[in-house]
Amino acid sequence: MSAFDAFPLGQPAFVSNILDRAAHLRRDDEKLFALEQKPSSRAYVVYRDSLLVKREGDKVRALLSIDEALKCGANPGTIFLGLRDDAAVFGMGLSQAAAEKLIGREDYTVTELRGMAMQGALPPQELSAIAMAKSMVSWHQRHGYCANCGTRTAMKEGGWKRDCPACKAEHFPRTDPVVIMLVASGDKCLLGRQKHFPPGMYSCLAGFVEAAETIEDAVRREILEESGIDCTDVQYYMTQPWPYPSSLMIGCSARAVSEDIVIDHAELEDARWFTREDAAKMLTRTHPDGLAGPHPFAIAHHLLGRWVHDKSDA
């Protein structure tokens, strides 16, 4: 399966959630403990930006039994993600020491999640649940101490909360909103590249929404700051959860009212206008200059593809 088959236009990675979150079970410790013991329960095991998978021939399987996960050294403190076909699904972490012990094994391996998703090695319908596991495991690893008094906190409610035993503060997982936008001027669109991008790759501009800022204001501000372009007519397209470590990409489009680019080189290596024809070739990796657009698993690809195919925006 190619990336274009796995992520058709309008369906980037991490958006198809197959789980019933079953939030009513999060406060029932006895029920959750019983679910962990059931043979039908499964887990996704996360190590930093990677995932523990089991090799099965030329394929890999990410959804492991609890027993498989524990035998590979996964942390026993599980995060309840929800139910799939009445079976519980949990998220579990893996320590560096446990990950290192798996090096060289033929049955299990720890592999970088982004690469597997881009290559289509994992079923697209599982990626949202995997993203949930990754975001939640990362949050617990980063927020083990109370931000109010510094005391070690305790996991509660199936992992969806941490309580401070000293000052009684409650801490909840956070999601950081990020605007990502396709800005057009007639039959041209604005794309930029950062230094860490692969050679020749350009993508939509993006940035974090700041405190007390609307999505529309964030779009206009980020475009102006990074490229010097004024824009208007901000329109919402769709969102994509982005587990690096826990963002929500808010896809938007906007119309430029200026075209003179002034690059903020602290943010971008380059930014330029591309014709619709150029953008179409970049998406299909057929541009004569070797230029490329974003990968189909990212919402930026779908923003650009939507504009390329919608001639009414011209």
Share of the chain above pLDDT 90, in %: 94
Alpha carbon distance 162, 28 (integer Å): 15
CA angle 123, 132, 164 (to 5 degrees): 160
Phi, psi of 149 (to 5 degrees): -130, -10
Under the banding of pLDDT at 50, 70 and 90, the label for residue 2 is: low
pLDDT mean over 28-49:
96
Reported as a single tens digit per residue, the pLDDT across 253-311 is: 999 999 999 999 999 999 999 999 999 999 999 999 999 999 999 999 999 999 999 86
Under the banding of pLDDT at 50, 70 and 90, the label for residue 6 is: confident
Alpha carbon distance 62, 81 (integer Å): 15
pLDDT mean over 101-117:
94
Whole-angstrom CA distances from 260 to 31, 185, 190, 271 are 61, 11, 11, 11
57 CB-contact burial (10 Å; exposed 0-12 / middle 13-18 / buried 19+): exposed
Which residues on neighbouring strands pair with residue 188, listed in sequence order? 185, 275
Phi, psi of 155 (to 5 degrees): -70, 135
CA angle 112, 115, 117 (to 5 degrees): 105
Alpha carbon distance 181, 95 (integer Å): 37
Residue with tokens 């019933």: 20
Read off the amino acid at residue 313: D
pLDDT mean over 59-88:
94
How does DSSP classify residue 201?
B
Average per-residue pLDDT for the chain: 95
How does DSSP classify residue 256?
E
Alpha carbon distance 310, 205 (integer Å): 20
Reported as a single tens digit per residue, the pLDDT across 269-282 is: 999 999 999 999 99
The predicted pLDDT at position 77 comes to 74
Reported as a single tens digit per residue, the pLDDT across 206-218 is: 999 999 999 999 9
The predicted pLDDT at position 314 comes to 44
Sign of the CA dihedral 261, 263, 264, 269? positive
The predicted pLDDT at position 5 comes to 82
Predicted TM-score (pTM) of the model is: 0.94
Reported as a single tens digit per residue, the pLDDT across 116-175 is: 999 889 999 999 999 999 999 999 999 999 999 999 999 999 999 999 999 999 999 999
Alpha carbon distance 70, 290 (integer Å): 46
Q: What is the crossing angle of helices 299-309 and 276-283, to 10°?
A: 140
Whole-angstrom CA distances from 235 to 9, 98, 253, 262, 301 are 18, 46, 5, 24, 17
- Pair type for strands 79-84 and 50-56: unpaired
CA 312 to chain centroid, in Å, comes to 30
Whether pLDDT at 312 is above 70 = no
The predicted pLDDT at position 310 comes to 85
The predicted pLDDT at position 4 comes to 76
Whether pLDDT at 181 is above 80 = yes
Alpha carbon distance 174, 289 (integer Å): 41
How does DSSP classify residue 200?
T
